[in-house]
A and B are shown apart, each in its own frame.
Chain A
Amino acid sequence: MGNNGKPTVGIFGFTGCAGCQLNILNLEDHLLDIISLVDITSWVMAKAENDDGPWDVAFVEGSIAKSTDIERLKKIREKSGVLVAIGACATHGGLPALRNLADTDEWKKEVYGDDYERIDAIDIKPVSHYVKVDYSLPGCPMDKAEFVEAVKALLIGKTPYIPQYSVCGECKAKENVCLLKEGKFCMGPVVQAGCDALCPTYGAACEGCRGPAPEANWAAEVEILKKIGATSEDVKRKFLKYCPSVADMEEFKELEF
């Protein structure tokens, strides 16, 4: 607790687009209420005066993309009561973690030229690979409403609720036309719900940014996608696009493409 009796909060960005932090700033209808309930004592993106903890709750955004990030992350963990990973980069590595599946040196050379060796670009693992993560809010970006619900739950000492079923459930509840039936390579059947099936509702296939739903039948999705014309390579890429850390999961390794 801070001096004023409010819980102290730190918001931290690692390597990324800052979209999850921006989504906190985008809570125009809730921002002043949140500020009245918690004491944000560290948030470099929004404040000039930032303290060094401890924090009751830390929100961590971004990819752990260079070796010095690991130490910084561990320090934040040590000083935080609860640590929440926000967004695909923090929960599953995000797009930058695609390099785990490639020749990173060749990629560095493509972008940074001949003196690429000085670029510190480690394989990108989820935040939970390095430190204990109490809660994860997945997605690229993190869903605003889910963040508000998580803050409310934490304030009253409850566990934030993250659905374990797939986007398909939400999509059906909205009575959307099934995009798989239209031949679009939609990941809805296997991806964790909580986004209210936003992309399919706008007619765009789910790209899997929230990561696989634990209870979904992944093998059936592989079969469906192949039946409507996806190659094995297409299917693998879909599974790993925003969440490359899935490649390390046993369930993924066991899949037959």
Chain B
Amino acid sequence: MTESIDIKHIARVEGHGSLYVTTKDKELVDVKMAVDEGARLFEAFLRGREYTEVPEMACRICAICSASHRVASTKAVEKAMGIKVDQQVVDLRRLLVWGEYIESHILHALYLALPDYVGHESVISAAADFPEVVKIALKLKKLGNDMQILTGGREVHQVSTAVGGFTSYPTHQTLDEIKERINEARADLQKCLDVWATLEEPDFERKTTYVSIKRDDEYALVDGDLITSEGHRVPVEKYKEIIGEDQPAYSFAKSGVHDGHGFFVGALPRLNNNTDQLSPFAKKALSQLGIKLPSYNTFHNNAAQLIETAQVFDMAIDTIDALLKSDLEWHEFETVPKAGFGTHITEAPRGSLVHSYEFGDDGLLKKADIIAPTTMNYLNMEEDVRALYPSIADLPRPELELMLNRLIRAYDPCISCSCHVAEVK
């Protein structure tokens, strides 16, 4: 008997996506992950815009990762124009991204994913049974947002980050205060880890290709080369050697292809590719949650986000200490446009993010290629559904649908981000 399992408008994810599964006699015949989001045509409307406004417009691709889009876009512009920035600017951008990591990872792991683990339909209903965790989650999320406000002026679509620097700097005092809050919040994050350690992770394994950026000197989140878990490493300008894209006929979005199959970007791929570079707090979290790396269990991506939150706590303290030693005296800066190509890949909380531009000598954008992490993950999601299905085929329909929902949610998909196309590799 042929059966359709249609999950329309997957809940508790950002954007509009649907999963269509066709089975025959409990065997999976077809699986399609479709994006129902309308087209916004970013790469088209960015053409002809001034280099100074491109990052401000491009960050509107996604609210949850607006800081990552902003930083990746700004760095791509600066590379194209040969614009250099000083260490204070580098560090302020890093601190902005660490804030985004805390906010985004806590939002996903504790607001959007946790309810599945504890049998609730939302964090709103979970608040009745787990008031403390929900309150801590709100507090941690606010900390991440306040770090973004401190550095970028606003938590969603920052206002003070610019090509060449920032239009305003935080003070030593405000940095000191946020440092104290981060240190105090360690105990809160620890409580969340303690709760997560008691949860049961779904039993699932499928090895795929894990893609992320990589640096030799630290856990790479903002800059680095692009690598695969098979050891293929390229400078970011050559991203097309690793990231291919396919345009399925049933979807508005493209999907990532590597060597003819899907690949995975996100927190778990980063942990798998950068295991040796974890900070003390992250190492402790990893061992408490009992995850062996490399992990091939996609569901571990949720826990990986909490481990990375611990990582970012440590990195934020280092970044703030570096900033506290600098003068933080804001000064006027000027940038001069020139023709050129610039590509930057940063790690957004939900995975690698490519911004690649060409500018004319008038400083106007000629061509943009933007590949968001969720775009890269679609094919891998479908392959995961194929691999998971046999083990859940006999479950009653609501439970089966829940497991499929959970699998897709584990990717922390950001579906509106992912509207975009390119050629098949």
Task: Report A's interface with B, CB cutoff 8 A.
Answer: 13-23, 25-26, 28-29, 31-32, 35, 40, 44-50, 63, 65-66, 69, 94-96, 98-99, 102, 104, 106-108, 110-113, 115, 118-121, 140-141, 198-199, 201-204, 207, 241
Contact = CB atoms under 8 A, between A and B. Distances in A.
Contact of B167 (A14, A28, A29, A204): A204
Interface stretch (B73-81, B117-125, B231-239): B117-125
Contacts of B339: none
A120 B40 CA distance: 11
**Which of A17, A29, A202 has its CB near the most chain B CB atoms (within 10 A)?**
A17
Contacts of B134: 32
Nearest to B167: A203
B39 A66 contact: yes
A14 B38 CA distance: 8
Nearest to B122: A47
Contacts of B56: 207
B38 A17 contact: no
B197 interface: no
B16 interface: yes
**Which of B15, B62, B423 has its CB near the most chain A CB atoms (within 10 A)?**
B15
A113 B153 contact: no
8 contacts: A14-B38, A18-B63, A21-B63, A26-B141, A32-B127, A50-B11, A95-B42, A141-B63
B63 to A, nearest CB: 3
Does more than half of chain A's interface fall in helix, strand or loop, or is it mixed? mixed
Contact of A204 (B15, B139, B141, B162): B162
Interface stretch (B43-51, B175-183, B267-275, B388-396): B43-51
B186 interface: no
Contact of A48 (B37, B107, B111, B121): B121
Closest 8 CB pairs of A and B: A19-B63, A65-B38, A15-B38, A203-B167, A107-B44, A47-B122, A28-B142, A202-B160
A256 B12 CA distance: 48
A147 B9 CA distance: 26
Contacts of A106: 44
Interface of B: 9, 11-16, 37-45, 47, 53, 56-57, 60-64, 66, 107, 111-112, 115, 121-124, 127, 134-135, 138-139, 141-142, 145, 153-157, 159-160, 162, 167-168, 247, 249, 252, 405, 416-417, 419-421, 423
Given A22-B156, A46-B123, A113-B247, A17 B61 contact: yes
Nearest to A40: B124
B111 A17 contact: no
Given A32-B134, A48-B122, 8 more contacts: A15-B37, A44-B9, A46-B12, A49-B121, A120-B38, A120-B39, A141-B63, A203-B167
B209 to A, nearest CB: 25
Contact of A47 (B16, B45, B124): B124
Contact of A17 (B44, B141, B153, B416): B416
B157 A202 contact: no
A122 B162 CA distance: 32
Contacts of B423: 113
B114 to A, nearest CB: 12
A111 B154 contact: no
B12 A15 contact: no
Contacts of B417: 17
Contacts of A198: 153-154, 159
Contacts of B421: 111-113
A141 B159 CA distance: 11
A22 B144 CA distance: 14
A61 B82 CA distance: 38
A95 B45 contact: yes
Contacts of B168: 202-204
Contacts of B57: 95, 241
Nearest to A110: B44
**Which of B37, B41, B66, B155 has its CB near the most chain A CB atoms (within 10 A)?**
B41
Contacts of B62: 17-18
Contact of A25 (B44, B107, B249): B107
Contacts of A63: 38, 40
B58 to A, nearest CB: 10
A139 to B, nearest CB: 10
Contacts of B61: 17
B166 to A, nearest CB: 8
Contacts of A23: 63, 156
Contact of A111 (B9, B43, B64, B66): B43
Given A65-B40, A96-B40, A198-B159, A48 B405 contact: yes
A69 B53 CA distance: 29
Nearest to A198: B159
B160 A203 contact: yes
Contacts of B123: 46
A32 B39 CA distance: 34
B12 A47 contact: yes
Contact of A107 (B9, B14, B38, B41): B41
Given A32-B138, A47-B124, A22 B160 contact: no
Nearest to B422: A113
Nearest to B140: A28
A207 B167 CA distance: 14
A119 B37 CA distance: 11
B150 to A, nearest CB: 11
